[in-house]
Amino acid sequence: MDAAKKVLPFYEAYFDQALSLPKLDQIFVPGENVSMENWGAIMDEEKYLINSSKDSWEDQSTAFQSLVHEIAHQWFGDLGHDGVVG
């Protein structure tokens, strides 16, 4: 969750546009392959709920990559690999 606090200002500067929501929630759920952006909420696998003093650097990196990917969707939606929204 600390990562989100650092990533949001980065994206706001990068896209030159503030997040257009008053808050962005993070929801961690059991299961696999459940990472998803929702308007105002990022849903991720509970394994990505990281403890930086206990979890490996690799696990932290994987969780961070998933988080920043899903947060970016708050600005540009769900663009597929072909650049088509959907």
**Residues with Cβ < 8 Å from 57, sequence gap 6 or more?**
none
56: DSSP letter: -
Does the active-site annotation cover 70?
Answer: yes
Report d(CA 78, CA 51) in Å as an integer: 29
Residue written as token pair 């979890």: 55
- What does the alpha-carbon distance between residue 13 and residue 38 come to, in Å, rounded to a whole number? 21
Catalytic annotation, residues: 70
